[in-house]
Structure 1
Amino acid sequence: MKYSYKFSNLLGTFYRRGNLNFTPEGNCLISPVGNRLSLFHLKNNNAETLPLATRCNITCVGLSPDGSLGILVDEEGAALLISLTTKSVLNQFNFHQPVQSVKFSPDGRKFVVTKGNVAMLYHAPGKHREFNAFVLDKTFFGPYDETTCLDWTDDSKCIAVGSKDMSTWVFGAERWQNLIYYSLGGHKDCIVSCFFEEGSLDLYTISADGTLCTWHCDTELAQLKPRDPNKKTQQSENAENESRGEEVRGVAHPGEEETVGRVRYKKAGRHFFNKEGEFNSLTAAAFHKKLHILVTGFSSGIFHIHELPEISLIHSLSISDQSVSSIGINCTGDWIAFGCSGLGQLLVWEWQSESYVLKQQGHFNNMVALSYSPDGQHIVTGGDDGKVKVWDTRSGFCFVTFTDHASSVSAVTFTSNGQVVLSASLDGTVRAFTLLRYRNFRTFTSPRPVQFSCLSVDGSGDIVCAGAQDSFEVYVWSMQTGRLLDVLAGHEGPISCVAFNPWRSVLATASWDKTIRLWDMVDSWRTTETLTLNSDALTVAFRPDGKEIAVATLDGEITFWDPEKGTQMGSIEGRHDLQLGRKELDMVTAKHSSKGKAFTALCYSADGEALLAGGASRFVCIYHVREQILAKKFEISCNHSLDAMEEFLDRRKMTEFGSLALIDEGAGEEGGVSLSLPGVRRGDMSSRHFKPEIRVTSLRFSPTGRSWAATSTEGLLVFSLDSSTVFDPFDLDEEVTAGAVRRALHVGEWTRAIVMALRLNEDPLLQEALESVPSSDIAVLCSSLPELYVERLLVFLAVQIERSRHLQFYLTWAHQLLMQNGQRMKTRSGSLLPVIHSLQKSLQGHFTDISKLCDWNRYNMKFAVCLSRQRGVKRNVENLDAESGDESSDPEMEP
């Protein structure tokens, strides 16, 4: 069993906060997700999350003009310089203050960072490796309050900075004689955005009250005159004379800088967007300079599209009931991206066709449960918002959402055929959804209202069981009829988990009454065995072969049982492996608080050799079942914006009255809040602030064994097995080398070459060996291949079928391997099941793509045939009209 799982993707979370950016070609959208960065490829219809993370939540992202570099800044002001080409971190820097915005110059040579009330100009990092990639060039002072936005001119000569003090400042990025700085007022609220016109110093400023001001400049960009660094100005000469005690006199002939006219602005117009009401403030804006399109978003979820400078309304639409946090426009101006942090919603709108290119939203509250489909293609999740979502593992997008439940979803699962999704909820219903028609076709209920906390379905998909947490009973239904078959009673505490044996109709139920009961579904649902535990049972899981049960209890222990004999086979003391963090408001240390913690999620690997365990911690532990030892720990998140991440609290945040998190900031200030309302902190008097606590609620291994997924506070995390970077030889000796493989291929010893390549276990070499074999010899080679190497070759073929363009060639290999070695592989069907699932997943992916292409071609051909028929009919009618016209004009035919 390999444990080299790496972070692969983040599903279920699309936008949290920060600014949205399109790549220079305009086909990819970059969105900050917590402390990670997600890339949405809109042309290819897939999403990926970069394998890098900041310490806290990302607040702003700066993208270089060529799209190769990016600057990520988190809440604390720590910055990462990343390469979007290699997807790696190049450098780190700390601004020591929260940063409002970061933006590269259009020529890519510099970038501006605004923090506090200053704007700092840095030299952009070069393509080569540097000791310090953040070199400060200038610092601009001017605003009296925090800065909010900035923009560059097209030639990178000037910048505009907006502020909360209702003013906008124009600074020269270089030393100009006629422009040092210029301040623009005229607004009655904080500046949200400011934009330069294309190739001009003309400026648009937009404030939060929905006011747009247009400013015309009397100077062109080409009229900006650089200052001579060697020539001193009259003011500097006067200052030097004063320092020497000399008398300062006026000069008869003023210097060159005296005769150059200063840059001046004039307000050309004012427009008011906010006509919806007093409480609807403008929250975000974006401007496309070439098309002169202005997009504004409001706190009511409405956005407007205007054409400037005429300010004519093109489109207006409401996309949600939450505030629009960020807006981005791609280079062509066709697509507009909207981010709503309140809902975690991300939209890409094509305004010309008035259609959605992308519309994704995660669970509004926490994810609670997940389950893989039998082929590993899909993942279903349930959340506290009562929604059931189905995700495509290849694209990373949700393609269907079921909203039939009225309360939190507690458990979800697939049936064995993968076409039906079952979900249990606290609203007292278990619902079955079909993935063929995307509807709820069956609803299971109990005689009296109960809250279902767990769910399971047997291997045939005919029997559905759900446990109740308030009536201490397990309910059994028939999938075919929807009738309640039986109610299993006997537990004396809430049912925490139910699980079916994968190979037999035996149900295991775990309860808080410190027992595990095994029920025989065939023999009148009688109890065959009762396993007594030392503490409350939290979760139970069957090994894939059904010959072992793993149980996690409240005392932090994992015990293994033989379901046939009812005897305990071993145990793992895993309480200290959780390595809990300390919350901000905890009065005890992390070491003492871990005594009452335990694993709440268990899952066996596809081959049954490993066990995944997770709980209220940022770590997921993987144990070797046979040795009963900890094999590896995976860190789910390093985001310190979440609670319970640190083992020791910062002493600087501790006062004589307790933690600063408990103290009302406005209580001791003059004019502040003297008494805070119950449950309210920091003197806000209305909204409740809280830090989400990091925890893992559910774990599942993929049926292919190549990945596993976890639902956590951050979203749906997927960890995959990246075998390409690990050298893992098998049965190696001195004679097995890459040169020996190529020599065997040269003389035509195909079997020997393939066996040596499999023993070296290097994918490029094995690919070279397989592609050298003539297609006519594949059947003979598959029959002569040793049984030990058949499984390894199937694993390689599953990966190659998904990646390679030689689809028919590798399909021939897979077909001949299965046909020639089918009888020999029956004895090891359990261990080969993950390999077969992986092969099925690759084939299903190609089948889906090809079927869509065939459907598209069929529709196009039908359209072409219909169009040609219409043109043929029209041509015939025209010919008949022409013939009738000729006959009427013939003089011989006239009477």
Structure 2
Amino acid sequence: MKFAYRFSNLLGTVYRHGNLSFSKDGNSVISPVGNRISVFDLKNNKSETLPVSTTKNITSVGLSPDGNLAILVDEDGAALLVSVVTRAVLHHYHFHKPVHSVRFSPDGRKFVVTKENVALMYHAPGRKREFNAFALDKSYYGPYDETTCIDWTDDSKCFVVGSKDMTTWVFGAERWVNLVYYCLGGHKDVIVGCFFEQDSLDLYTVSQDGTLCVWECDTELDGLVPRGPKEQSKAQEKGPQTEGGEEEEEERGAGEEGEPQGEVIRGKADENRQQEGTKIVRYRRRGKHFFNKEGDFNNLTAAAFHKKTHLLVTGFASGIFHLHELPEFSLIHSLSISDQRIASISINSTGDWIGFGCSGLGQLLVWEWQSESYVFKQQGHFNNMATLSYSPDGQYIATGGDDGKVKVWNTNSGLCFVTFSEHTSCITGVAFTSSGFVIVSASLDGTVRAFDLHRYRNFRTFTSPRPAQFSCLALDCSGELVSAGAQDSFEIFLWSMQTGRLLEVLAGHEGPVSCLSFSPVQSVLASASWDRTVKLWDMLDSWQTKETLRLTSDGLAVTYRPDGQELAVATLDGEISFWNPQTAAQTGSIVGRHDLQMGRKETDKITAKQAAKGKSFTSLCYSADGQCILAGGQSKFVCIYNVSEQILMKKFEISCNLSLDAMEEYLDRRKMTEFGSLALLDEGVGDGDTVALSLPGVKKGDMSSRHFKPEIRVSSLSFSPTGRSWAATSTEGLLVYSLDGALVFDPFDLDLDVTPSSVRRQLRQAEWAAAIVLAFRLNENALTKEVLETVPHDQISVVCGSLPDVYVEKLLRFVASTLESSGHLQFYLTWAQRLLTLHGQKLKSRSGAILPIIQSLQKSIQRHFEDLSKLCDWNIYTIRYAAALSKQRGLKRTADDSLSEEGEGSEGSDMESEASVEETNMLT
């Protein structure tokens, strides 16, 4: 169970592509991030990425009205039915074509999917006990081009579909006599949004050229006449019909664009049914409005409408959005929130919050339009993430990206709370100091910068005498020495954190310096280079080279074990070698090239097996206890090796997204032609439309290419100081894997007598230590918590002293994890204090195994200390004021008593009443 790490959260990516959705209560927003979805809780300021993933990037999300089910559809039309409550996949389905939008009916009984020029209506899953969760009800044909958007009436009787052929089609969800279909024209560009008015068949349609048409219907929702059995039998006698309409030619009838305002738009089918004496549904255009455009290319890209408040929100390609009140088309306000196009807009159920998604920059914004303020504002790294570092208490993760930004993420909430953008080029290394309040970053722009997490500013900038591109960074255990390696001058620069002065330039390498690592117990710096050496520099002895370790290939990564007694080096030939830094002797090696399992890129002309011979690990990290090492590289796999046994313990597949390149080992035969792969074929359209082949040596993708398909890779790895989780920066973002203890049942020394009833029997008999031992043997967290909280506070010392040694570590680990979320602070702190006091010497002998538990306990205490200290600082003045008032009241009463003894009680009572009135006024 030591390696039972599971996917926990995805940080660094808040929105990629697709439509945003608000939860039923309106307090959470659901955002597609690649082939996963993230739920952002706006009330509690937390994020969670569901542990489900599609085959490719998600393009559309449909959320049921009760918020329990979600339909996720990817680029190819493969769909997943997901339970939002249990976070489990319930059903798989394939639409076989790309799907543009999915929309549930308001009553939750049906949902409509639009693909190509067809609208497909399905029975909602769970309503009928069927083997197939997606049961097709009807297919609706009508538009000539692809369909774009859907909206339902409030009673789920009809729905409207917009199309790229500039028409809007109203369909009946059931068999109505007076409404089978109705086509509306009037636009000159693609329909972006179509919306029904509340409890009405009146329509609003918005097109890409910034035009709004207001349509008025002459029939109410109650005026729809259901088709009886006679009409249905007559329709069946007529022979084969187009589903969702009458005859095909009649269905194609539509109104013309140039009709004057107010004129009725009718199709041929309307005239035929009019002769039968049935009053059919008719529409007339009541108004046509135009949005103010700043340029010819400022297209309207997204729209949303809130029926209760009559609020229309429209987003444009320039990043501007408008708020209008309909049907008067009154502009409430207009604002620019980005310099990229707005890809998706959603409004919550109350109409207070508006969610915006910008796919170009990966932004997710939630705007409260009444107060004109941001409720939520997050943005990931624009390009790939390059490096990461955990804070000493494990609460924060700092990441650096190719966009030159340094972001700090909270591991509990999963959100970024500060971004530093002082660097002007790629970040190559970030590190926390031992205090945890300073972040140091190195960049290819030739600077190393130190940032203060108290004041959020760049307070130090370290530079070299000659401009150099820094490729790696390391801090010593005290945080006083800052070192950075250059990839062009082959030198290592050392600065003082206190003064900011350059202390020394270490020369000796004959190739670019690829990685630096300080020893955690000595003032020794290890540097790996492409010259096939690792040099150990003594910081106390005139910066001299202490040892030189000869490697078999170019050194790519180097790291010390947490106790400083071992050194691990990753080389270009795919090996991980282990060295004793004291004797400079190699103690072992692991051949990991075959564990990488590189995939074959679309433009590769050699097989994945041949390409894997040139791959290697580029990032290493020891676990908190030093027994295992984590390794990752240009692959979708992250490997955990046992150092002493030198064997592979487990492999983690960090992504299964086929939208990324180099994911599959073999090319798809359907993409192979007699001339080779389709990706390598020149279509011959023109001289400028040639095949975009990647440049030689480019690892992170050619950003100048018009069609960029990113390649999967792991650029950096790090274990948390507590050892309960590890994080990896990859092409998809910052992935966090953790030990989920709540879902793992791991009994210890179990027999037939160990049951929950026997545990509670011991509690009733006041046998506290025996009950704790039995609870830990069952290893159920809920039961263990119940037993601990039943123990009286004055019995904690006695129980801790009588516990067997094997359960002391288990109890301390449980207290550390429970303290993080429990409100019984003094109770659990007393448990921790007594355990450490009574068993300190025994625990000290096992410091390597106990260190992650102590760090987890320190993290919990530190978090509570920060929260309570802020609360106490806020309330201290109120407490002082209350104390001063009580003291003043006591003095008044003393004076009144003395006056009453002299016979002036009435006057004293008047004074007391005046004082009480004065105090009341002061409090008011």
Instruction: Determine if the TM-score, normalized by the shorter chain, exceeds 0.5.
Output: yes
Return the alpha-carbon distance in structure 1 between the equivalents of residues 275 and 763 of structure 2: 79
Report what 2:866 is aligned to: 848
Alignment of structure 1 residues 321-332 onto 2, 5 Å:
321-332=339-350
The one-letter code matched in structure 2 to 1:823 is: Q
CA contact (8 A) 2:273 2:280 kept: no
Distance 1:237 1:91, change over 3 A: closer
Alignment of structure 1 residues 379-398 onto 2, 5 Å:
379-398=397-416
Report what 1:136 is aligned to: 136
Report what 1:262 is aligned to: 280
Report what 2:565 is aligned to: 547
Secondary structure of 2:399's counterpart equals strand
Matched, 1:749 2:762: no
Report what 2:667 is aligned to: 649
Following TM superposition, by how much is the alpha carbon of 1:221 offset from its aligned partner in structure 2, in angstroms?
A: 0.6
2:523 to 492, 499, 505: 505
Report what 2:900 is aligned to: none
Return the alpha-carbon distance in structure 2 between the equivalents of residues 851 and 716 of structure 1: 31
Secondary structure of 1:262's counterpart equals coil
Return the alpha-carbon distance in structure 2 between the equivalents of residues 699 and 303 of structure 1: 40
The one-letter code matched in structure 2 to 1:455 is: L
Listed one character per residue, the Cα deviations across residues 248-306 of structure 1 (whole Å, up to 9, x for unaligned) are xxxxxx99992111111101111111421111000000000000000000000000001
Report what 2:7 is aligned to: 7
Report what 1:152 is aligned to: 152
Return the alpha-carbon distance in structure 1 between the equivalents of residues 288 and 468 of structure 2: 61
Listed one character per residue, the Cα deviations across residues 788-816 of structure 1 (whole Å, up to 9, x for unaligned) are 32222111011111233333321221122
Distance 1:442 1:769, change over 3 A: same
Report what 2:20 is aligned to: 20
Alignment of structure 1 residues 434-449 onto 2, 5 Å:
434-449=452-467
Listed one character per residue, the Cα deviations across residues 310-356 of structure 1 (whole Å, up to 9, x for unaligned) are 11111111011100000000011110000000000000000111110
Secondary structure of 1:259's counterpart equals coil
Distance 1:509 1:78, change over 3 A: same
Matched, 1:709 2:727: yes
Distance 1:344 1:544, change over 3 A: same
Following TM superposition, by how much is the alpha carbon of 1:112 offset from its aligned partner in structure 2, in angstroms?
A: 0.2
Report what 2:421 is aligned to: 403
Alignment of structure 1 residues 454-473 onto 2, 5 Å:
454-473=472-491
CA contact (8 A) 1:680 1:688 kept: no
Alignment of structure 1 residues 581-592 onto 2, 5 Å:
581-592=599-610
Matched, 1:32 2:32: yes
Return the alpha-carbon distance in structure 2 between the equivalents of residues 838 and 404 of structure 1: 33
The one-letter code matched in structure 2 to 1:496 is: S
Alignment of structure 1 residues 301-312 onto 2, 5 Å:
301-312=319-330
Listed one character per residue, the Cα deviations across residues 85-139 of structure 1 (whole Å, up to 9, x for unaligned) are 1110010100000000000000000000000000000000116874211000000
CA contact (8 A) 1:324 1:340 kept: yes
Return the alpha-carbon distance in structure 2 between the equivalents of residues 88 and 335 of structure 1: 28
Alignment of structure 1 residues 776-855 onto 2, 5 Å:
776-854=794-872
CA contact (8 A) 1:234 1:255 kept: no
CA contact (8 A) 2:475 2:482 kept: yes
Distance 1:805 1:510, change over 3 A: same
Return the alpha-carbon distance in structure 1 between the equivalents of residues 821 and 462 of structure 2: 42
Return the alpha-carbon distance in structure 1 between the equivalents of residues 880 and 287 of structure 2: 55
The one-letter code matched in structure 2 to 1:277 is: G
Report what 2:213 is aligned to: 213
Secondary structure of 1:309's counterpart equals coil
Report what 2:647 is aligned to: 629
Matched, 1:76 2:76: yes
CA contact (8 A) 1:233 1:257 kept: no
Report what 2:95 is aligned to: 95
Report what 1:482 is aligned to: 500
Following TM superposition, by how much is the alpha carbon of 1:739 offset from its aligned partner in structure 2, in angstroms?
A: 4.7
Q: TM-score, normalised by structure 1?
A: 0.91
Matched, 1:606 2:624: yes
Secondary structure of 2:596's counterpart equals coil
Secondary structure of 2:26's counterpart equals coil
357-366 or 528-537: bigger deviation: 528-537
Secondary structure of 1:327's counterpart equals strand
Return the alpha-carbon distance in structure 2 between the equivalents of residues 837 and 11 of structure 1: 23
Distance 1:477 1:842, change over 3 A: same
Provide structure 1 residue ranges, at least 5 long, that are not aligned to the other structure: 241-253, 866-871, 880-895
Following TM superposition, by how much is the alpha carbon of 1:755 offset from its aligned partner in structure 2, in angstroms?
A: 2.7
The one-letter code matched in structure 2 to 1:374 is: P
CA contact (8 A) 1:327 1:339 kept: yes
Return the alpha-carbon distance in structure 2 between the equivalents of residues 156 and 863 of structure 1: 60
Following TM superposition, by how much is the alpha carbon of 1:600 offset from its aligned partner in structure 2, in angstroms?
A: 0.5
Secondary structure of 1:776's counterpart equals helix
Report what 1:882 is aligned to: none
CA contact (8 A) 1:274 1:281 kept: no
Report what 2:44 is aligned to: 44
Matched, 1:556 2:569: no
Secondary structure of 1:582's counterpart equals coil
Return the alpha-carbon distance in structure 2 between the equivalents of residues 859 and 689 of structure 1: 61
The one-letter code matched in structure 2 to 1:676 is: D
The one-letter code matched in structure 1 to 2:522 is: R
Alignment of structure 1 residues 290-309 onto 2, 5 Å:
290-309=308-327
The one-letter code matched in structure 2 to 1:723 is: G
Report what 2:246 is aligned to: none
Following TM superposition, by how much is the alpha carbon of 1:579 offset from its aligned partner in structure 2, in angstroms?
A: 1.1
Following TM superposition, by how much is the alpha carbon of 1:780 offset from its aligned partner in structure 2, in angstroms?
A: 2.1
Return the alpha-carbon distance in structure 1 between the equivalents of residues 204 and 877 of structure 2: 48
The one-letter code matched in structure 1 to 2:809 is: E
Return the alpha-carbon distance in structure 2 between the equivalents of residues 275 and 649 of structure 1: 46
Following TM superposition, by how much is the alpha carbon of 1:583 offset from its aligned partner in structure 2, in angstroms?
A: 0.5
Listed one character per residue, the Cα deviations across residues 68-93 of structure 1 (whole Å, up to 9, x for unaligned) are 11100000000001111111001010
Distance 1:864 1:739, change over 3 A: closer
CA contact (8 A) 2:386 2:402 kept: yes
Secondary structure of 1:576's counterpart equals helix
Distance 1:576 1:748, change over 3 A: same
1:673 to 686, 699, 723: 686
Distance 1:113 1:857, change over 3 A: farther
CA contact (8 A) 1:58 1:74 kept: yes
Following TM superposition, by how much is the alpha carbon of 1:675 offset from its aligned partner in structure 2, in angstroms?
A: 4.7
CA contact (8 A) 2:154 2:198 kept: yes
Distance 1:132 1:736, change over 3 A: same
Matched, 1:280 2:298: yes
Return the alpha-carbon distance in structure 1 between the equivalents of residues 328 and 42 of structure 2: 32
Return the alpha-carbon distance in structure 1 between the equivalents of residues 363 and 781 of structure 2: 40
Report what 1:869 is aligned to: none
Following TM superposition, by how much is the alpha carbon of 1:231 offset from its aligned partner in structure 2, in angstroms?
A: 3.6
Matched, 1:427 2:440: no
Question: How many residues in Structure 1 have an aligned counterpart in Structure 2?
Answer: 849
Following TM superposition, by how much is the alpha carbon of 1:490 offset from its aligned partner in structure 2, in angstroms?
A: 1.0
Provide structure 2 residue ranges, at least 5 long, that are not aligned to the other structure: 241-271, 695-703, 884-913
Listed one character per residue, the Cα deviations across residues 456-483 of structure 1 (whole Å, up to 9, x for unaligned) are 1111111111111111111111111111
Alignment of structure 1 residues 861-872 onto 2, 5 Å:
none
Following TM superposition, by how much is the alpha carbon of 1:765 offset from its aligned partner in structure 2, in angstroms?
A: 2.8
Distance 1:736 1:222, change over 3 A: closer
Following TM superposition, by how much is the alpha carbon of 1:761 offset from its aligned partner in structure 2, in angstroms?
A: 2.7
Distance 1:389 1:571, change over 3 A: same
Secondary structure of 1:442's counterpart equals strand
Return the alpha-carbon distance in structure 2 between the equivalents of residues 236 and 579 of structure 1: 59
CA contact (8 A) 1:209 1:274 kept: no
Listed one character per residue, the Cα deviations across residues 568-614 of structure 1 (whole Å, up to 9, x for unaligned) are 11111110001111100011111110000001111011111111110
Following TM superposition, by how much is the alpha carbon of 1:234 offset from its aligned partner in structure 2, in angstroms?
A: 6.1
Following TM superposition, by how much is the alpha carbon of 1:31 offset from its aligned partner in structure 2, in angstroms?
A: 0.5
CA contact (8 A) 2:164 2:191 kept: yes
Following TM superposition, by how much is the alpha carbon of 1:524 offset from its aligned partner in structure 2, in angstroms?
A: 1.5
CA contact (8 A) 1:178 1:257 kept: no
CA contact (8 A) 1:211 1:274 kept: no
CA contact (8 A) 2:301 2:316 kept: yes
Following TM superposition, by how much is the alpha carbon of 1:750 offset from its aligned partner in structure 2, in angstroms?
A: 2.0
